Structure 1
Amino acid sequence: MAEPDATTKPGTAAEPGTAVEPDGPSRPAAVPGVGAGVGADPGGPGADHVPVLVRAAAPYATAVTLAVAQGDRTAVHCHGRTARDGEPCTPDTVYELGSVTKTFTALLLAVMAARGELALDDPLERHLPPDWRPPDLRHDGPIRLLHLATHTSGLPKLPPGLLTTALPTWTSNPYVDFDDRRLRAGVARTTVRHAPGTRYGYSNYGVGLLGRLLAETGRAGYAELLADRLHRPLGLRTATCSPDARHRATGHRRGRPLPPWLIPGLPGAGAVRAGGADLLRFLRAHLSPGEGELGHALRDVQRPRLRLARSTDRLGLVWNLRRAADGRDLYFHSGATRGFTVVVGFCPQTATAVAALTNTGPALDGRFVQAAYETLKQLAKPTD
Structure 2
Amino acid sequence: MAAVCVSMLSAISFCNDSHAAQDDLQEKVRAAVNAAIEPVVREHRIPGMAVAVTVNGNRYFYNYGVASRESGQRVSQDTLFELGSVSKTLTATLAAYGQALGTLSLNDPASRHWPALRGSAFDKISLLELASYTAGGLPLKFPDEVSGQERLAAYFTRWQPSHAAGTHRLYSNPSIGLAGFLAARSMGKPYAELLETQVFPKLGLTGSYVNVPQREMEKYAWGYAKDDTPVRVNSGALDAEAYGVKSSSADMIRFVEANINGTRLEKSMRRAVAATHAGHFRMGSMMQALGWEWYAYPVSVETIVENSSSEVVLKANPVIRLVPPLDPASRQGNVLLHKTGSTNGFGAYVAFVPGKNIGIVMLGNRNYPNAARIRAAHQILTALDEPPVSATSR
TM over 0.5: yes
For 2:30 and 2:278, locate their aligned partners in 1 and report how far apart those are by CA, in whole Å: 27
Change (3 A) 1:380 1:190: farther
Richer in helix (by share): 2
Match of 1:366 among 358, 364, 371: 371
For 1:335 and 1:226, locate their aligned partners in 2 and report how far apart those are by CA, in whole Å: 18
For 2:359 and 2:373, locate their aligned partners in 1 and report how far apart those are by CA, in whole Å: 17
Change (3 A) 1:49 1:106: same
Which residue of 2 is the match for residue 263 of structure 1?
Answer: 235
Matches within 5 A, 1:118-129: 118-128=104-114
Match of 1:54 among 26, 34, 38: 38
Match of 2:143 among 138, 149, 163: 163
Give 1:51 deviation, angstroms.
4.5
Whether the 8 Å CA contact 2:139–2:170 is kept in 1: the answer is yes
- SS of the counterpart of 1:194? coil
Matches within 5 A, 1:46-125: 46-58=30-42, 59-84=44-69, 85-125=71-111
- SS of the counterpart of 1:331? strand
Give 1:46 deviation, angstroms.
4.6
For 2:223 and 2:350, locate their aligned partners in 1 and report how far apart those are by CA, in whole Å: 18
Structure 2 residue 149 is matched with structure 1 residue 183: no
Matches within 5 A, 1:219-258: 219-243=188-212, 245-246=216-217, 247-258=219-230
Which residue of 1 is the match for residue 274 of structure 2?
Answer: 299
Deviates more, 1:327-336 or 1:93-102: 327-336
Which residue of 2 is the match for residue 355 of structure 1?
Answer: 361
Whether the 8 Å CA contact 1:100–1:342 is kept in 2: the answer is yes
Match of 2:340 among 334, 339, 352: 334
Change (3 A) 1:325 1:72: closer
Aligned CA-pair RMSD: 2.4
Q: Which structure: larger Rg?
A: 2
Give 1:50 deviation, angstroms.
3.0
Identity %: 28
Which residue of 1 is the match for residue 310 of structure 2?
Answer: none
Whether the 8 Å CA contact 2:98–2:186 is kept in 1: the answer is no
Whether the 8 Å CA contact 1:338–1:362 is kept in 2: the answer is no
Structure 2 residue 352 is matched with structure 1 residue 346: yes
- SS of the counterpart of 1:118? coil
For 1:372 and 1:181, locate their aligned partners in 2 and report how far apart those are by CA, in whole Å: 42
Give 1:189 deviation, angstroms.
2.2
- SS of the counterpart of 1:88? coil
Change (3 A) 1:240 1:93: same
5+ unaligned residues in a row in structure 1: which ranges? 1-40, 166-176
Change (3 A) 1:51 1:371: same
Change (3 A) 1:382 1:216: farther
For 1:212 and 1:316, locate their aligned partners in 2 and report how far apart those are by CA, in whole Å: 18
Whether the 8 Å CA contact 1:341–1:360 is kept in 2: the answer is yes
For 1:89 and 1:325, locate their aligned partners in 2 and report how far apart those are by CA, in whole Å: 32
Change (3 A) 1:179 1:61: farther
Which residue of 2 is the match for residue 21 of structure 1?
Answer: none
Whether the 8 Å CA contact 1:243–1:261 is kept in 2: the answer is no
For 1:75 and 1:44, locate their aligned partners in 2 and report how far apart those are by CA, in whole Å: 11
When normalised by structure 1's length, the TM-score is 0.78
5+ unaligned residues in a row in structure 2: which ranges? 1-24, 300-330, 390-394
Which residue of 2 is the match for residue 194 of structure 1?
Answer: 163
Change (3 A) 1:237 1:43: farther
Amino acid at match of 2:131: A
For 1:241 and 1:57, locate their aligned partners in 2 and report how far apart those are by CA, in whole Å: 27
When normalised by structure 2's length, the TM-score is 0.76
Change (3 A) 1:373 1:243: farther
Give 1:368 deviation, angstroms.
3.0
Give 1:370 deviation, angstroms.
2.9
Which residue of 1 is the match for residue 319 of structure 2?
Answer: none
Which residue of 2 is the match for residue 31 of structure 1?
Answer: none
Whether the 8 Å CA contact 1:180–1:264 is kept in 2: the answer is no
Give 1:236 deviation, angstroms.
1.0
- SS of the counterpart of 1:68? strand
Structure 2 residue 174 is matched with structure 1 residue 205: yes
C-alpha offsets along residues 272-312 of structure 1, whole Å, 9 cap, x if unaligned?
0100000000110011112511111111111222211xx21
Which residue of 2 is the match for residue 174 of structure 1?
Answer: none
Change (3 A) 1:219 1:228: same
